[in-house]
């Protein structure tokens, strides 16, 4: 948190008028506000200013708000509320699945925005910024997307990496097949997805486990799902 304990909000929007309007309204509500007008700026400010919540316009000059969301989500769970002029279903779903916590269509009322911000703060757990993950000989640099086993860097396919990231995000806990499938592939849930998940688990194990038939990291919970075990050094 901040020294004056007020919550810091980062506003990302290329429209000056909207930034002004939001800043005024939020400052009046007692929030501390900083602003930027580009995707690049957003990524930098999330790192440097460590805001407690991001309000992100989806249409930015340099990069898509969804891209920004995905990028930020690689290493932090900081609440992100997306703003958009479009009420398009596809965009909404894409934004939410990329890791956004809420999606508001302009015009919206400040009352609703702040209510949804309060929901987001309620959800926010203690800062779970984990730039790197370690368990035994396995190390994952989530910010740089680098995985090493016993110091040796290994390369994972996009799906394998995403799967590992999902397991890391809830390390120690059992994730059901359904949960993993939904996070990995979204809405297209179908029974044959289970098979696909198994193949990917198998491939991932081959790359990170010393002995794939006797897993040290990725444990199977028969009938339920998988669990990434936390091992002390």
Residues that bind a second copy (CB under 8 A): 1, 3, 5-7, 29-30, 77, 89, 92-93, 96-97, 100-102, 109, 111-112, 114-116, 118-119, 121-123, 125-128, 143-146, 155, 157-158, 170, 172-174, 176-179, 182-183, 186-187, 189-190, 221-225
Closest distance of CB 173 from DNA, Å: 16
Q: With beta carbons less than 8 A apart as the criterion, state whether 142 and 99 touch.
A: no
> Can you list the alpha helix ranges (DSSP code H) found in 61-173?
65-73, 89-98, 110-123, 158-169
Closest distance of CB 44 from a second copy, Å: 25
- Single residue of 127, 144, 220, 231 touching DNA by CB under 7 A: 220
Task: Report the distance separating Cα 46 and Cα 11, nearest Å.
Answer: 10
DSSP code at position 228: E
> Per the structure block, which two tokens stand in for 67?
């891209």
Residue among 177, 168, 182, 170 nearest 133 (CA): 168
Closest distance of CB 214 from a second copy, Å: 15
DSSP code at position 135: E
Residues 158-217 that bind DNA (CB under 7 A): 158-160, 177, 185, 192, 194-196, 198-202, 205-206, 212-213
Residue 182 binds which entry of a second copy, DNA, none, with Cβ cut-offs from 5 to 8 Å by kind? a second copy
Q: With beta carbons less than 8 A apart as the criterion, state whether 12 and 56 touch.
A: yes
């Amino acid at each position: 948190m901040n020294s004056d304990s007020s919550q810091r909000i980062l506003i990302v929007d290329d429209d000056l008028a909207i930034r002004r309007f939001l800043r005024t309204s939020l400052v009046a509500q007692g929030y501390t506000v900083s602003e930027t007008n580009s995707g690049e700026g957003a990524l930098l400010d999330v790192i440097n200013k460590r805001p407690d919540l991001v309000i992100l316009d989806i249409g930015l000059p340099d990069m898509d708000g969804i891209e920004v969301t995905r990028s930020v989500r690689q290493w932090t769970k900081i609440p992100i509320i997306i703003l958009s002029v479009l009420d398009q279903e596809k965009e909404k779903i894409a934004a939410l699945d990329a890791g956004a916590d809420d999606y508001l269509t302009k015009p919206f009322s400040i009352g609703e925005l702040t209510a949804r911000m309060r929901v987001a703060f309620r959800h926010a757990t203690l800062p779970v910024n984990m730039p790197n993950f370690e368990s035994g000989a396995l190390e994952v640099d989530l910010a740089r997307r680098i995985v090493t086993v016993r110091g040796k860097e290994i390369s994972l396919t996009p799906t394998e990496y995403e799967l590992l990231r999902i397991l890391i995000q809830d390390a120690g806990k059992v994730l059901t097949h359904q949960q993993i499938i939904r996070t990995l592939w979204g809405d297209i849930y179908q029974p044959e997805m289970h098979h696909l998940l198994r193949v990917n688990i198998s491939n991932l194990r081959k790359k990170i486990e010393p002995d794939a038939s006797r897993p040290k990291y990725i444990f199977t919970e028969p009938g339920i799902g998988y669990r990434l075990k936390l091992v002390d050094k």
